[in-house]
C-alpha cells in the first residue's frame, strides 16, 4: 500500500513515474526529506518535522517550504490510506530540473508501509556496529557546506554504512567522530541511559536534531527522568544501563549488542521509556 500526494492537493499513482530524468534530486541527491510516522491516522511530531524541513531547506539554499501545503499533503496521504495502522510518510523536496534557473522545486509526500523488519526490531532489539564517520566533532559549525545536520537526499553513505553493518552481522550502525565520541545512526538518533539519566549528543557535533529523541526526552523528563544533551564517548556505550536508537519509524529501538558484545539487559528500561513515549500520544 502506497499513497502519493502532491503539494497542490492532488493525488498520484505511486507506480507511475513523475520525476524527470534531469531532476537534481536524481542527478545530484540535491534536496531534502523528512519521514513522519502516522499512527491510527494521527501524525506524530508533525510540527518539529516541518520545522526541520524548513531548517534543512535554509541550509541548502532552497526556497522556504510552504508548511501549510506540506501539512495538507500529509493529510491527503492519511485520508487516502487503506493499509496498516501505521504509515511512514516521506516528505521529499527536490530542487528541480538541472540547468534551468527558473526550475520549480519538485515536491511530494509518499505514504509507505513500515518494513516488517523495522517493526520486529522494536520488540526484539538490534545489534549495532560502530563505524567511523571520518569527521571531527568541531567541523560542522566551521564548515556549513558539509551540510552536517541537514536531512538531505544524499544518503548514499548512510546506506553504505548499513550494508557494512550487515556484513559484520549487525542490524544498524552508530557513527563515531574522529575523537571517539558518539554521533548518530545513519537514520536515527542515539540515546544512552546511565543512572536514570538519558543522554544524547548535541546537534553541534554535526548530527541531525532528532524529532523522536526530543519527544522521548520530553516524555521521560515529565516522568521524572533526568535528560542531558552532551558528548558521549563511545567507550561508555558498553557499560551503559541502556542504549537505544530513536527515529520516527523505529520509535525507540533497544540496542542489545555493540560490535558483537552483548550489553546489560535493558528490557525493563526499554519498556519504561516506550510507555512514556507512547503515553504522550494516547
Nearer CB in complex with its own copies: 118/276: 118
Nearer CB in complex with its own copies: 178/197: 178
Give the Å distances, CA to CA, from 22 to 12, 56, 98.
Answer: 20, 22, 6
Q: CB 133 → its own copies: shortest distance, Å? A: 8
Binding site for its own copies (CB under 8 A): 2, 4, 12, 14-31, 33, 59-61, 90, 92, 94, 98-99, 108, 110, 112, 115, 131-136, 139, 142-147, 150, 152-161, 163-164, 178
Nearer CB in complex with its own copies: 146/222: 146
Q: Look-up: residue for cell 551503559?
A: 240
Packing angle of the helix pair 211-222, 46-59 (nearest 10 deg): 140
Phi first, then psi, for residue 47 (nearest 5°) are: -55, -55
Q: CB 230 → its own copies: shortest distance, Å? A: 22
Nearer CB in complex with its own copies: 56/266: 56
Q: CB 173 → its own copies: shortest distance, Å? A: 8
Give the Å distances, CA to CA, from 138 to 135, 157, 179, 190, 240.
Answer: 8, 20, 10, 18, 25
Q: Look-up: residue for cell 530542487?
A: 95
As given in the structure block, the three cell numbers for residue 120 are 520486529
What b/e sequence results for 196-230 when a residue is b if at least 16 CB atoms lie within 10 Å of its CB, and e otherwise? Answer: eebbbbebebbbbbbbbbbbbbebbeeeebebeee
Q: CB 188 → its own copies: shortest distance, Å? A: 15
Q: CB 278 → its own copies: shortest distance, Å? A: 25
CB 89: neighbour CB atoms within 10 A? Answer: 26
Q: CB 98 → its own copies: shortest distance, Å? A: 8
Nearer CB in complex with its own copies: 144/169: 144
What does 145-205 look like in DSSP terms, one character per residue? GG-TTS-BS--HHHHHHHHHHHHTT-SEEEEE-TTSBB--BTTBEEEEEETTEEEE--GGG
Phi first, then psi, for residue 34 (nearest 5°) are: -140, 155
Nearer CB in complex with its own copies: 25/210: 25
Nearer CB in complex with its own copies: 168/214: 168
Radius of gyration, CA atoms only, the chain: 19
CA 57: distance to chain centroid? 16
Q: How far apart are CA 125 and CA 117, in angstroms?
A: 11
Q: CB 277 → its own copies: shortest distance, Å? A: 25
Q: CB 149 → its own copies: shortest distance, Å? A: 12
Nearer CB in complex with its own copies: 100/221: 100
Amino acid at each position: 500500500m502506497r499513497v502519493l500526494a502532491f503539494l497542490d492537493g492532488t493525488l498520484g499513482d505511486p507506480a507511475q513515474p513523475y520525476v524527470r530524468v534531469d531532476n537534481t534530486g536524481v542527478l545530484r541527491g540535491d534536496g531534502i526529506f523528512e519521514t513522519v510516522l502516522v499512527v491510527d491516522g494521527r501524525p506524530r511530531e508533525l510540527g518539529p518535522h516541518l520545522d526541520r524541513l524548513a531548517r534543512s531547506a535554509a541550509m541548502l539554499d532552497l526556497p522556504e517550504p510552504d508548511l501549510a501545503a506540506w501539512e495538507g499533503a500529509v493529510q491527503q496521504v492519511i485520508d487516502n490510506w487503506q493499509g496498516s495502522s501505521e504509515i511512514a510518510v516521506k516528505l521529499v523536496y527536490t530542487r528541480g530540473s538541472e540547468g534551468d534557473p527558473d526550475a520549480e522545486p519538485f515536491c511530494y509526500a509518499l505514504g509507505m508501509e513500515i518494513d516488517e523488519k523495522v517493526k520486529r526490531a522494536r520488540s526484539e532489539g538490534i545489534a549495532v556496529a560502530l563505524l567511523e564517520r571520518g569527521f571531527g566533532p568541531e567541523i560542522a559549525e566551521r564548515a556549513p557546506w558539509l551540510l552536517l545536520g541537514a536531512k538531505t537526499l544524499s544518503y548514499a553513505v548512510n546506506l553504505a554504512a548499513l550494508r557494512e553493518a550487515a556484513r559484520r552481522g549487525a542490524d544498524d550502525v552508530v557513527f563515531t567522530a574522529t575523537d571517539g565520541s558518539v554521533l548518530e545512526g545513519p537514520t536515527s538518533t542515539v540515546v544512552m541511559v546511565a543512572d536514570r539519566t538519558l543522554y544524547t549528543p548535541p546537534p553541534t557535533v554535526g548530527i541531525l536534531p532528532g524529532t523522536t529523541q526530543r519527544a522521548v526526552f520530553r516524555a521521560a523528563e515529565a516522568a521524572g527522568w533526568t535528560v542531558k544533551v552532551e558528548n558521549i564517548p563511545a567507550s561508555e556505550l558498553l557499560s551503559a544501563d541502556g542504549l537505544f536508537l530513536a527515529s520516527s519509524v523505529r520509535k525507540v529501538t533497544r540496542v542489545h549488542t555493540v560490535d558483537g558484545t552483548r550489553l546489560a539487559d535493558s528490557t525493563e528500561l526499554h519498556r519504561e521509556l516506550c510507555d512514556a513515549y507512547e503515553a504522550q500520544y494516547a
